[in-house]
Amino acid sequence: MDVAGLVEIALLVLLVAGALQPRSLELTAFSLLLLANVDVAAASVANSGLVGSITFVKGLLVPGLLLFRWLRSGEMRRHMLEFTRSPSALLWFGVTGLVAAGVLRSPFPIDGLKMVGALVSHTLAWAVFALLIARGRPSNRTIAGVLWATLGLAALQTLALGNVFGLAAASASIRVSSFASPQSFAEFLGVLILILVWREGLRRPILMLAVLAALLLSGSRLGFVGATLGLLMWWWLTLNLQRLVLALGALLILVAALPLGLGSQILQSRLGEVVNAVNDPGTSVIQSVGTFRWRAGMYAALNDAMLASTPVEWVLGHGTSSAGLVGQEYDARFFGPGSSWNRVVHSEPLRLLYEGGVLAFAFATALFLTLLAVLARGLLPPGRTSAAARASYGAVLSALPLLLLSLFFENILQAAASPGVIAFLFLFAGLTARAPYEVRRAPASTPLLGSERV
**Per-domain boundaries in the chain:** 3-429
> How many angstroms separate the CA atoms of 217 and 12, rounded?
25
pLDDT score recorded for residue 351: 92
407 closest CA partner among 335, 370, 449, 353: 353
pLDDT score recorded for residue 281: 46
Each residue's pLDDT tens digit, 46-84: 455 677 788 888 999 999 999 999 888 777 788 788 778
| pTM beyond 0.85, yes or no | no
Dihedral of CA 417/421/423/429: which sign?
negative
In Å, the largest CA–CA distance within the chain is: 66
**DSSP per position, 376-426:** HHHHSSTTSS-HHHHHHHHHHHHHHHHHHHHHHHS-GGGSTT-HHHHHHHH
Residue 136 and residue 438 in contact, taking contact as beta carbons nearer than 8 Å: yes
Residue 454 and residue 87 in contact, taking contact as beta carbons nearer than 8 Å: yes
Residues of the chain predicted below pLDDT 50: 42, 46, 168-171, 254-255, 257-269, 271-289, 435-454
Q: How many CB atoms lie within 10 A of CB 210?
A: 17
- Which residues fall within 8 angstroms of residue 273, CB to CB, at 6 or more apart? 288, 289, 290
pLDDT score recorded for residue 338: 67
